[in-house]
Amino acid sequence: MMHKSLSISLLLLLGLTNLKAQSGNLMESISSEMEHFNEVATVTKQNENYQPYIISIFQGEELEKLGVSNLKEALFLVPGVDMATDNFNNQTPIFRGSNSSAYGQSKLFIDGVLVNNVFFDAYSEYLSFPIEMIKRIEVTRGPGSKTDGFNAYAGSINVITYAESFEGFESSDKLVFKYGSYDYKMGGFFKNYKADNLKVSVDFFYQEDNKKLPSGPDGLSQGVLSIPGYDNRALSQSGDAPLWLNEYSLGLSLEYKDFFIKARVLEHKKGSAYGINYALPQESDRIKLPSYYLELGYNKEINDYKLNINAGIKYDTFDSYSKLAPDGLNFIDMYQFDTYGTVSPVLFANGAYGEHVAKQRTLYQSSYIEYNGIEKHRITLGYRLVKEETIDMISKLSSWSTGLPEPYDYTQTYPFFDANAKRNTLIFSLQDEFELSDNLSFIYGFNYEETSYEDAGLEPRVSMVYQLDAENIFKAIYSRSHRNASWQEMFTMNNRSRVGSTDLKPEIVDAFEAAYIKKFSNDSYIQTNLFYLLNKDQIYNSSTSPEYENVMDTDLYGFELEYRGNITSLDQLYLNYSYVTGKSYINDEARSESLSNVAHHLAKGYYIYNIDRALSLSTVAKFVGSKSRVFGDTREKVKAYSTFDTAMQYKNKKHDFSLTFSVKNIFNSTVKFPSAVNTYPEDYEQERRNFLVTFKKEF
């Protein structure tokens, strides 16, 4: 009944808003909008309705009013985007139901710098990025937005910090403090300096919590660590999964004339969640996912040419120390077994421990030139070179000979990862933006990619934007893109649940998209998107077949409705609904059941009411439909859920500070993300009701 009431309420609000539109104010509003866009659209991309792809933009200050705490919570609002997790608690957004068991489906950019790590090709370490450090979030659904040396398979996320500052839109200095449930604490600042041709921006934040969530029974209950003759299921545990967080970040942006520097240090440490081997870990067990990058660039305009040259270096690491198995486990020395055949199990009376470290370095360089000398054309040509390599690897385990818990160095004899992993990539790009008339424009081009392993080859993109008039906009897009295998999928070794393969081909997607946008005013519109996605050679593994293989094809299709507007002059309303369905094929055999781990229905929205210039109230509502299990998983569907959040913000204009109080999941709904088959049978439970208080002071 709650789901039906929510749907009826959203439809009523939408109907009231449409009645409000009046033609006299409409043209005046559109005229003002276009004048504004002419000044800032190139830098901010705020004219999303006219962009040649499917994009949603969220402003940081509006998200703050909603009590949104970080990037993860903001992405929950995006049409067609759900969230998944794993035993490491590596949470990742799922775009339009695309391969929920893999990472790298989407790319995350911080001020234009790609930050996906190499090990997982994920960015969970950035999902906790505080919203107060974010000026704007641009989310593109589908692969069609990237023909500039990047390949966004299912979508891309561009986070713009307050380092973006230009004439008339300068960013203010700020100081932020937050406190919330799970003993969450956060402090940070942003500082901007400008003099003549020099501009410097610095942001810093530190945050921590002691989050623990009920979990279990763990994977031992499903026989994860059992061996013939030794049933270890009795050692299974239930308890609190350690999901605590401790991290800090320092970011730097420097511009001097035509040169720029972008740099960030992110130290991210968290609890070991649900255990590397699906055995519930100790509270102190941890995973580190640090991320560092430095990018240097040069931008220059010469007559009809614009030149952009970038070069950068990025370091990221997977670093885990954890109790891998409980006291009293009997297990086989896999190294001895593989070498000599049958051997006796080893008793780990005090449990088994492990330290696993893999450090990666990425070097990249790109050069692009834009030419505007042909009337109605803007041609961009260039390349991007990437060199990825593992620079250090450590593999330590409790002794296979004695069963004593002190870790023994198996880096050379029993590595968990290929210490010599490396990959080189060359991407060549060509794109032409062609304005056939004032109402009709095209973008067409391609990426061509070669790697040290399997090549993706030529990937075209064609996009059309047609403006019937200022109120009615149509889009049509075809694009092809790919996802290269992550290093976990390629180079993992000596692991029962994950077996890497360097023979993997890139996942390929052909995307067909169409959109219609009806604009009512400057900031009010409704958008309808249709999509059809043909996914080939998707990478998949399971507990019965742990080696990663290109065995799955998936056809996806559906639609998205998105509305942004207001009911009165004092409020803001945002609503969206998404539907996705399709069919998966494993080894060319059609699956009879629904898509696995995919919610067919997603509905989200928020409402902000500005009581006066100082005080605002808001609410956020989300509905996520039920999810079918993967092939061979006989558990019942993952249940649908609805959550409601509320927030109140007070702004003191005189002293430039704000105070925000929010309560998340106010009705204490049960929210679970699906676990892999034969691991945690009760799935991964998420936060219940919790609160957050934020103080922000601007200077």
Output the six-digit token pair for 307.
């030149």
* The predicted structure's pLDDT at residue 594: 65
Phi then psi for residue 10, to 5 deg, are -65, -40
* The predicted structure's pLDDT at residue 168: 64
Gap between the Cα atoms of 543 and 101, Å rounded: 13
Gap between the Cα atoms of 342 and 336, Å rounded: 8
Spatial CA neighbour of 166 closest among 131, 199, 134: 199
Evaluate if pTM is beyond 0.85: yes
CATH number at residue 434: 2.40.170.20
| 270 and 286 Cβ atoms separated by less than 8 Å | yes
Gap between the Cα atoms of 330 and 232, Å rounded: 7
- Cβ neighbours around 268 below 10 Å, total: 21
* The predicted structure's pLDDT at residue 590: 53
The strand pairing partners of 227, in sequence order, are 230
Spatial CA neighbour of 619 closest among 562, 566, 663, 667: 663
DSSP state of 676: P
| 139 and 56 Cβ atoms separated by less than 8 Å | yes
Output the six-digit token pair for 657.
């500070």
DSSP state of 416: S
Gap between the Cα atoms of 140 and 191, Å rounded: 29
What total number of domains does the chain contain? Answer: 1
Ramachandran sector of residue 3 (left: φ over 0; alpha: ψ -120 to 50; beta: rest)? alpha
Burial of 342 (0-12, 13-18, 19+ CB in 10 A): exposed
Output the six-digit token pair for 221.
């209950």
Q: In the block, which residue shows the tokens 């994950």?
A: 498
* The predicted structure's pLDDT at residue 147: 65
Spatial CA neighbour of 488 closest among 433, 541, 445: 541
> Please, where are the H alpha helices in 68-188?
71-75
* The predicted structure's pLDDT at residue 74: 97
From residue 322, alpha-carbon distances to 262, 285, 286, 438, 489 in Å are: 34, 5, 6, 61, 22
Q: For residue 340, which amino acid is it?
A: Y
Mean pLDDT by 10 residues, the chain (699 residues): 41 40 42 41 58 92 96 96 93 89 88 95 96 95 76 91 79 95 97 92 97 94 88 94 98 96 98 94 96 97 95 97 94 62 82 95 97 94 96 94 90 92 95 93 93 92 93 95 93 84 94 96 92 92 80 92 94 97 76 75 97 96 94 91 98 95 97 93 96 97
The domain of 206 spans 2-698
User: Which SS3 state, helix, strand or coil, does residue 12 take?
Assistant: helix
Gap between the Cα atoms of 420 and 409, Å rounded: 18
Prior bond to 79 cis, omega within 30?
A: no
The strand pairing partners of 556, in sequence order, are 533, 582
Q: In the block, which residue shows the tokens 């067409």?
A: 444
Q: Which helix (H) or strand (E) holds 478?
A: strand 472-483
Output the six-digit token pair for 448.
């061509």
Q: For residue 251, which amino acid is it?
A: G
Q: Which residues contact 156 (CB under 8 A, 6 or more apart)?
A: 106, 107, 108, 109, 139, 140, 145, 146, 150
Gap between the Cα atoms of 647 and 344, Å rounded: 60
Q: Which residues contact 140 (CB under 8 A, 6 or more apart)?
A: 53, 54, 55, 152, 155, 156, 157, 158
Spatial CA neighbour of 608 closest among 678, 680, 535, 662: 662
DSSP per-residue letters across 195-242? ETTEEEEEEEEEEEE--EEEE-S-GGGGTTT-BTTB-GGGG---EEEE
* The predicted structure's pLDDT at residue 169: 67
Side-chain half-sphere CA neighbours of 242 within 13 A: 20
Beta strand pairing call for 81-84 and 92-95: antiparallel
| 396 and 354 Cβ atoms separated by less than 8 Å | yes
Output the six-digit token pair for 497.
């649940």
